[in-house]
Amino acid sequence: MKKDKIKLLVISAMLFCLGLVLPFFTGQIPKIGNMLLPMHIPVLLCGLICGWQYGGVVGFCLPIIRSLLFGMPVLYPNAIGMAFELLTYGIFAGLLFEKSRWHCIKSLYKCLVITMLAGRIVWGVAQVFMLGLGDEGFSFALFLTKGFVNAIPGLVLQFTLIPAIMLVLKRTHLMPRRQV
């Protein structure tokens, strides 16, 4: 039992470090980084592989620590809003996949869709609380643009990369908890 917890903790730490490093590949061009969402992938994987508790902690801490260490994303409002979004990603991905009847690709895609929608809604609510509503604050048009339209390349990347990684982990018998 203790060995399993240590394994999950090490995997979570590795995915956390990956989340710190991945944005450097797109960091030179912030517009591309905003579209590819590089910090989302390790958090989703952490929730799916290690469970909702680990995914939630990694998701909440990752953008804030990255902001404090490297100055990107900007702490207020970006990193704080992302912290709540990625917290939701980690928790929802882990819970939905754990509770799904079958751990197959179809259920993985269902979990990803629900998780991504929930995360975007939480991000939007966090932005409203931080920036307020209206023309001077956070509008519904801004929510749709930043939350969905600009994120289409990142969502496509997540929908292709995450199931592929999960299948590789299953076929190589490296999945520590669940099967896909």
- Given a cut of 70, the residues of the chain with pLDDT beneath it are 1, 27-28, 30, 134-135, 176-180
List, in order, residues 6 or more apart from 79 with CB less than 8 Å away.
63, 64, 66, 67, 73
* CA–CA dist 167, 175 (Å, integer): 9
pLDDT at 156: 94
The answer to whether domain 2-23+36-171 has CATH 1.10.150.530 is no
> Which pLDDT value is given to residue 176?
65
CB burial of residue 64 (10 Å; 0-12, 13-18, 19+): middle
What pLDDT, on the 0 to 100 scale, is given for residue 57?
98
Q: Note the pTM of the prediction, 2 decimals.
A: 0.92
Written as one string, the DSSP assignment of 2-45 is: HHHHHHHHHHHHHHHHHHHHHHHHHTTSHHHHHHH-TTHHHHHH
Q: Are 179 and 103 in contact (CB under 8 A)?
A: yes
The predicted structure's pLDDT at residue 133: 73
What lies within 8 Å, CB to CB, of 1 at 6+ separation is none
For 54-66, write each residue's pLDDT tens digit: 999 999 999 999 9
